[in-house]
Amino acid sequence: MKLICVGLDNSGKTTMLNIIKPKKVNLTEIAPTIGYTIETFSKNNISFTIFDMSGQSKYREMWQDYCKGVDGIIFVIDSAE
């Protein structure tokens, strides 16, 4: 399953993805995403490839390029709420 994760700056996109991944990460060591990162993992017999896109305004135009051909979009409003 190919997904894209988008949302505004500091909404918690990377933190949310690290919570749902099977391998846990120290959440206090997460740095802001520059550009994008690709996360690949399996959970419940489903393989995921997730594009974690930066929320900074200068990178938002890239979102539309990565939305093509994905199976779903995760839009994070605020992961702390």
55 class by beta-carbon count within 10 Å (0-12 exposed, 13-18 middle, 19+ buried): buried
Catalytic residue among 56, 59, 60, 70: 56
Q: Are 70 and 22 spatial neighbours (Cβ–Cβ below 8 Å)?
A: no
The span from the CA of 34 to the CA of 25, in Å, is 19
Active site residue 64: no
Active site residues: 56
